[in-house]
A and B are shown apart, each in its own frame.
Chain A
Amino acid sequence: MNSIKIETIHYSLNYGNFRAIEDISIKIPEKQVTALIGPSGCGKSTFLRSFNRMNDLIPGVTTEGEILLDGEDIFKMDPVSLRQRVGMVFQKPNPFPKSIYDNVAYGPRVNGLKDHKKLDEIVERSLRGAALWDEVKDNLNKSGLALSGGQQQRLCIARALAVEPSVILMDEPAASLDPIATLRIEDLIRMLVENYTIVIVTHNMQQAGRVSDYTAFFFTDETRTGRLVEYDRTQVIFTNPKDKRTEDYITGRFG
């Protein structure tokens, strides 16, 4: 196993009185793709959004336990600098209503970079990194919203890359895309994992199988509180799961 990038220790999260996830301990290896799977409502997004403290925005959220990034407690970090280190790609592509260039340059700019040359460089590098450069290099001033759904999602990935994070979180990044665009995103994820630690939520078992190195299976019962059932190499989870519920879910018995 690679070195540990993120570690959660007995982590729980409540939305007000409702306990959404409970007692999750997991070690996410560096420069690997880790997939979070499980039925709807079991807390995958909630867990994923914990890594860059996006849940801080929701009033009434309380947490217990610890989350460590490179061994450092993220709840003791400044959320702004945490989010520069942990980027995020959302389920629905959400480019800003700005030009392609301005979308990608947004992160470096808010971080104080003004040098045009450097910005140009970063924009090109990030767009190349997101496998979008060849398609948009002549139209960098076009609105990001004018791209196709798949292109928009890759733009959002490029935008995240431009901040130079070390971790990228993806919440069902291909859920709103057609099969071909989905495949491109999956290729891209495999390409990015050379340099980044990636955590991805997906409902698509084949996709989890194709892109991830590790898989965490979450489940919930009548209490609706999500728990981690099983976590292992993807290969193991898919061919030789230890828990009956994992097997049932993977073989599609839960629907």
Chain B
Amino acid sequence: MQRRYRIDKGIKYLLFFSAIVSIIIVFLIFFFIFQSSLPAFQQIGLRNILLETTWRPTNGQYGILAMIVGSVMVTFMAIVMGVPLALGAAIFLAEVAPRAVQNVFRSAIQLLAGIPSVVYGLFGMVVLVPIVRRIPVPGNSGYGLLSAAIVLAVMILPTITSVTEDALRAVPRSYKEASLALGATHWQTIIHVMIPAAKSGIIAALILGVGRAIGETMAMIMVIGNSVIMPTPLTDNPLTIFLRQARTLTGNIAVEINYATGLHESMLFATGVVLFILIMIINASAHLILRNGERS
């Protein structure tokens, strides 16, 4: 009898330990990333890191502004291309598609989400880049922001679609019924009742999508070209900026960490810190937009 209860107590402590492992890992991640980045911030200085565009580690130049711009641009472009399609797909899935189509479509979304990012990267290299290369602009290699953004748009599509679908399905049935009973069409009901009611879920989906986009590493390395230059138009036409090669913060870390030492290595951790902060800024502004939207 006593033994039974002693076991019970012991197990409780074991479970307790498993539970706090997550907290410990989060703490360790923050600790190691920040600690390892400290030399870089101290010796190079925030200004030189954030506001300089020249990245030449052999020369002691560690500006990452071009990569910040690269990450933000490619993410923004992917959102612009991917989000309308993802939201449309979610509405289609939740409200329009007949049951049989829904099942097929949902499996398709699931598969799209499961495909490894290197496969998307490979597809981008082999199929997309040669197509983009056909755009007749001097200096256009096919690799660059446009190709990377298209690949990224496809990669964030399933995340945003499935979270948005869940949000739409979570809207109480009574709202939909009330709207239809008032003589609104199904489409008006979707636009004026379902989407506003699902708004916070949809914002959460977008945040997830942005997080996924800005954190994507390997597929970006494979198609974006990786040169560290401030993205500028290739010709007089400002649109050619999208054909420019670039490098993302994530790509910078992955490409160089295996051989970097000393300050260079510390600087890659600092790149990670900047990535972190960028994600936090994006999340916070999304929440702010959400809250403002609710007030008005």
Instruction: Verify if B196 is at the interface (C-beta below 8 Å from A).
Output: yes
Report the Cα distance A158→B196, complex, angstroms.
Answer: 22
Closest to B172 in A: A94
A200: shortest Cβ distance to chain B, in Å? Answer: 15
Kindly identify which residue among A80, A84, A92, A160 contacts B174, using a CB–CB cutoff of 8 Å: A92
Whether B183 and A110, one on each chain, are in contact in the complex, defined by CB atoms closer than 8 angstroms, is yes
Kindly identify which residue among A54, A59, A98 contacts B180, using a CB–CB cutoff of 8 Å: A54
Instruction: List CB contacts (< 8 Å) of B238-287 with chain A.
Output: none
Report the Cα distance A98→B176, complex, angstroms.
Answer: 14
A69: shortest Cβ distance to chain B, in Å? Answer: 14
Report how many A-B pairs have Cβ atoms within 8 Å. Answer: 64
For A156, the chain B residues whose CB sits under 8 A away are 178
Whether A88 and B181, one on each chain, are in contact in the complex, defined by CB atoms closer than 8 angstroms, is yes
Interface size on A, residues (CB 8 A): 26
For B174, the chain A residues whose CB sits under 8 A away are 90, 92, 94
Closest to B188 in A: A110
Report the Cα distance A111→B185, complex, angstroms.
Answer: 9
Report the Cα distance A94→B193, complex, angstroms.
Answer: 12
Instruction: Verify if B31 is at the interface (C-beta below 8 Å from A).
Output: no
For A80, the chain B residues whose CB sits under 8 A away are 183-185
B218: shortest Cβ distance to chain A, in Å? Answer: 42
Interface membership of chain A positions 85-109, coded 1 if the CB is closer than 8 angstroms to chain B and 0 otherwise: 0011010101111100000001101
Kindly identify which residue among A52, A88, A90, A96 contacts B193, using a CB–CB cutoff of 8 Å: A96
Kindly identify which residue among A81, A83, A92, A97 contacts B182, using a CB–CB cutoff of 8 Å: A83
Instruction: List CB contacts (< 8 Å) of A24-70 with chain B.
Output: 52, 54, 57, 59
Assuming the contacts A94-B177, A106-B192, asked whether A160 and B182 have C-beta atoms less than 8 A apart, the reply is yes
Assuming the contacts A94-B172, A96-B193, asked whether A163 and B177 have C-beta atoms less than 8 A apart, the reply is no
For B182, the chain A residues whose CB sits under 8 A away are 83-84, 87, 106-107, 110, 159-160, 163
Instruction: Verify if B179 is at the interface (C-beta below 8 Å from A).
Output: yes
Closest to A169 in B: B181
